[in-house]
């Protein structure tokens, strides 16, 4: 079994060993899994190209490790416990045995539809068990899954399908979210009308009684292709370095990029980090509230928990439906032991009042987790007091789509916790802080740019179809290290606090969004001449989206603001809707024509008394006008 750290001494020793001898450390972790043949080398790497391989030559299938390997000991244990959007509907449970059967049936159906190893399959689905089953079915046959969060627009979906050159989309007819019904298949149809020329089949899961448009050429019902299949499906043998999935995420420039993860290292690291960060034991019930459309759902709803033989809760709905007590009601109902959510959800529920959690019995909770954005002190204390009742260690976990798994976190009950601090590296994680010139900051009590100087098994290998972009984004800022894009502080005792992005990436309600991507969407509006987007502090969302827009002058403000939001929703999705839109006469630019975002950020954040030097601007006079026009 994957090693589980059990004391502070054990943590210190494991960390030391993992740094002194990473090869031996990760090799011994990997040995606890099922492999068909052993690797040739544990690690080959250089960060310049970059070229990274873990356990190369080793043959495995991750689903055998998630499913088959557990059948003997815990075949009847619940693997997935599904809680529907509507609390009056029935909970669905899949034991490990049942899940294996469903995955095999679905894998056989995909094969019959012509999907072979290496093909890309895009998912655009609600949080229902079929999504986890479909993802695992792809992994079973070596197809590469790419899950697109179902809140993205038809355009955003089409962009991802085209980039991945996917052969199949798997979606539902409708999604249920709170009291809304979202016409998912219609959005897929729209994407198909735009482009998606590589798509041969659209598989539709029946999830409602509504009618949908149907195209006999491409569309097939999930049940029609899956129901009659055999429950046996031999797992495709994959090299440890074969691609497992692509997940699109926003960067500071251009369109979202497809982060590529491979089979072996991802498996070893997500299992190890799951067992240790959550201290999962025995028959614990573990619940992560993320969506499988994000990396958190991949690593800590599906892969990590299943690799560790855990019971993982999957929730279809939203935290405020039918009321603001829903999360706590679910914790009580399923006797949840480990609960993992995002600061934005904590803040939103905190605003609804402490009477909501007070109605429920939360005594089963052993620890609480936070992920996706910095957790502010107020939310940390509320979480601790009203949910954990002062008895549950809070783990503030820092990581990224690119890191595949949790990199910095306290270990609950083992290391100490400090509000707003993600604190300590996981074993195998070699952090470094650098200043803007690239000098390594060795001492404590400093702030710098967060880098990682040694490979870890679940790190990204490339960005799909564009290796140069991977190099440029992560490995070129400083030579020889992976640059995270985040700034961090190290306190006097060595704990890390991640402050936030230092590049042009926003974190809105825990969702990553590039300012360039947002500006491109805004610029699609026919009356927009130029735009600049920045983040500003937002009580619930962490960061809000502030857009400065120069128009052609022919617009009525209210009409324009409304239509601009519509355009952004069309181009990206509702999560990208600007919170504030200021129609501006000009934007502050340097003499070389670059927008000075620093100034725009200060204005949007009401920090105009610390604007700094504006004399280098080409047009310093726009600053006063921008301040006067602030919305
Ligand atoms: C931010 C989510 C502070 C950070 C798993 C990172 C955090 C980006 C934390 C990655 C945290 C994530 N404290 N900031 N505990 N966790 N972030 O790819 O800026 O959606 O670079 O992965 O979220 O977001 P992503």
pLDDT value at residue 613: 84
Within 13 A of 294's CA, how many CA atoms are on the CB side? 19
Residue nearest to atom 1 of ligand 1 (CA): 373
What count of other Cβ atoms lies within 10 Å of the Cβ of residue 359? 12
pLDDT value at residue 24: 98
Residue nearest to atom 15 of ligand 1 (CA): 398
- Quote the DSSP letter at residue 445: S
pLDDT value at residue 235: 98
Listed in sequence order, the DSSP H helices in 353-420 are 355-358, 377-382
For 244-281, the pLDDT digits (tens) are: 999 999 988 889 999 999 999 999 999 999 999 999 99
Q: Is the CB of 374 inside a 6 Å radius of any atom of ligand 1?
A: yes
- Given a contact cutoff of 8 angstroms between Cβ atoms, the answer to whether 123 and 97 are in contact is no
Question: Which ligand 1 atom minimizes the distance to the CA of 500?
Answer: 19
Nearest to 341 by CA among 349, 353, 333: 349
- pLDDT exceeds cutoff 80 at 554: no
Q: pTM, whole model, 2 decimals? A: 0.97
Give buried/exposed letters for 205-217 (b at 16+ CB in 10 A, else e).
bebbeeebeeeee
Tell me the pLDDT of the chain averaged across its residues.
Answer: 97
- From 294, 373, 418, the mutation candidate for ligand 1 (largest count of ligand atoms within 8 A of CB) is 373
- pLDDT exceeds cutoff 90 at 522: yes
> Residue 360 has which token pair?
């429920």
R_g over Cα of the chain? 24
Provide φ and ψ at 58, rounded to 5°. Answer: -70, 140
- Mean pLDDT (whole number) for 155-184: 97
- Given a contact cutoff of 8 angstroms between Cβ atoms, the answer to whether 380 and 421 are in contact is no
pLDDT value at residue 615: 85
Give buried/exposed letters for 52-68 (b at 16+ CB in 10 A, else e).
bbbbbebbbbbbbbbbb
pLDDT value at residue 82: 98
- From 372, 410, 452, the mutation candidate for ligand 1 (largest count of ligand atoms within 8 A of CB) is 372
**Residues in the chain, how many?**
631
Provide φ and ψ at 158, rounded to 5°. Answer: -60, -40
Distance CA 606, CA 10 (A): 47
Q: Is the CB of 422 inside a 6 Å radius of any atom of ligand 1?
A: yes
pLDDT value at residue 323: 98
- Mean pLDDT (whole number) for 2-20: 98
- Mean pLDDT (whole number) for 65-75: 98
Question: Per DSSP, which regions of 148-284 are E strands?
Answer: 168-172, 175-177, 180-182, 201-205, 219-221, 238-239, 243-249, 257-262
- pLDDT exceeds cutoff 90 at 1: no
Residue nearest to atom 10 of ligand 1 (CA): 400
Q: Between the CA of residue 536 and those of 84, 167, 197, what are the distances in Å?
A: 35, 40, 39
Task: Quote the Cα angle for 195-201-204, to 5°.
Answer: 105
Q: Is the CB of 397 inside a 6 Å radius of any atom of ligand 1?
A: yes
- pLDDT exceeds cutoff 90 at 593: no
- pLDDT exceeds cutoff 90 at 612: no
- pLDDT exceeds cutoff 90 at 555: no
For 362-379, the pLDDT digits (tens) are: 999 999 999 999 999 999
Listed in sequence order, the DSSP H helices in 278-325 are 295-297, 304-307
Kindly give the distance from the C-alpha atom of residue 311 to the centroid of ligand 1, in angstroms, as a whole number: 25
- From 149, 450, 486, the mutation candidate for ligand 1 (largest count of ligand atoms within 8 A of CB) is 486
Question: Per DSSP, which regions of 57-137 are E strands?
Answer: 59-60, 78-83, 92-95, 120-124
Q: What order of strands is seen across the sheet that includes strand 367-371?
A: 92-95, 78-83, 311-315, 285-288, 338-341, 367-371, 394-397
Give buried/exposed letters for 272-300 (b at 16+ CB in 10 A, else e).
bbbbbbbbbeeebbbbbbbbbbbbbbbbb
What is the three-class DSSP state of 19?
helix
What count of other Cβ atoms lies within 10 Å of the Cβ of residue 14? 18
Lowest mean pLDDT among 271-280, 423-432, 553-562: 553-562
Kindly give the distance from the C-alpha atom of residue 401 to the centroid of ligand 1, in angstroms, as a whole number: 8
């Amino acid at each position: 079994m994957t090693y589980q750290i059990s004391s502070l001494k054990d943590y210190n020793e494991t960390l030391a060993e993992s740094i002194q001898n990473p090869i031996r450390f990760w090799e011994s972790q990997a040995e606890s899994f099922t492999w068909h043949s052993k690797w040739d080398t544990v690690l080959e790497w250089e960060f310049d190209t970059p070229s990274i391989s873990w356990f190369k030559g080793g043959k495995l299938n991750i689903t055998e490790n998630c499913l088959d390997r557990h059948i003997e000991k815990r075949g009847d244990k619940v693997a997935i416990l599904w809680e529907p959007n509507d609390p009056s509907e029935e909970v669905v449970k899949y034991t490990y045995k049942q899940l294996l059967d469903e995955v095999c049936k679905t894998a056989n159906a995909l094969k019959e539809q012509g999907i072979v190893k290496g093909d890309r399959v895009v998912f655009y689905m609600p949080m229902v068990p079929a999504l986890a089953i479909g993802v695992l079915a792809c992994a079973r046959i070596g197809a590469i899954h790419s899950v697109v969060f179902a809140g993205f627009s038809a355009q955003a979906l089409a962009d991802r399908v085209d980039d991945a050159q996917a052969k199949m989309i798997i979606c539902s007819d409708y999604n249920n979210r709170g009291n809304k019904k979202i016409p998912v298949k219609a959005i897929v149809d729209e994407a198909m009308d735009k482009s998606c020329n590589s798509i041969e089949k659209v598989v539709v899961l029946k999830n409602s009684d509504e009618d949908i448009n149907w195209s006999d050429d491409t569309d097939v019902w999930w049940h029609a292709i899956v129901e009659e299949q055999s429950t046996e499906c031999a797992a495709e043998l994959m090299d440890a370095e074969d691609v497992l999935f692509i997940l699109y995420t926003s960067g500071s420039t251009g369109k979202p990029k497809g982060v590529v993860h491979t089979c072996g290292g991802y498996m070893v690291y997500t299992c190890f980090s799951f067992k240790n960060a959550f201290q999962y034991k025995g028959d614990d019930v573990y619940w992560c509230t993320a969506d499988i459309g994000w990396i958190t759902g991949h690593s800590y709803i599906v892969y990590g928990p299943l690799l560790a033989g855990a019971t993982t809760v999957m929730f279809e709905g939203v935290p405020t439906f039918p009321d603001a007590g829903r999360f706590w009601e679910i914790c009580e109902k399923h006797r949840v032991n480990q609960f993992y959510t995002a600061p934005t959800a904590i803040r939103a529920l905190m605003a609804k009042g402490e009477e909501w959690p007070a109605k429920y019995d939360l005594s089963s909770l052993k620890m609480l987790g936070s992920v996706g954005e910095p957790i502010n002190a107020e939310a940390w204390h509320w979480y601790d007091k009203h949910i954990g009742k002062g008895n549950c260690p809070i783990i503030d976990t820092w990581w990224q789509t690119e890191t595949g798994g949790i990199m910095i976190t306290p270990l609950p009950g083992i290391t100490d916790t400090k509000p707003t601090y993600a604190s300590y590296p996981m074993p195998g994680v070699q952090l470094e802080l650098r200043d803007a010139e690239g000098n390594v900051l060795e001492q404590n009590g400093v702030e710098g740019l967060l880098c990682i100087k040694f490979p870890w098994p679940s790190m990204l290998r490339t960005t799909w179809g564009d290796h140069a972009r991977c190099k440029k984004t992560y490995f070129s800022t400083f030579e020889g290290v992976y640059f995270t894009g985040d700034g961090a502080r190290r306190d006097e005792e060595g704990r890390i606090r991640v402050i936030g992005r230092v590049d042009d990436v926003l974190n809105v309600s825990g969702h990553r969004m590039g300012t360039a991507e947002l500006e491109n969407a805004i610029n699609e509006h026919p009356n927009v001449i130029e735009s600049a987007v920045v983040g500003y502090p937002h009580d619930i969302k962490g960061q809000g989206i502030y857009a400065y827009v120069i128009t052609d002058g022919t617009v009525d403000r209210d009409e324009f603001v409304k239509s601009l939001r519509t355009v952004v929703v069309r181009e990206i999705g509702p999560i990208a809707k600007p919170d504030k839109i200021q129609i501006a006469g000009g934007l502050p630019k340097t003499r070389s024509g670059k927008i000075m975002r620093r100034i725009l950020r200060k204005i949007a954040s009401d920090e105009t008394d610390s604007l700094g030097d504006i004399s280098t601007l080409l047009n310093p006079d726009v600053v006063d006008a921008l301040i006067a026009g602030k919305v």
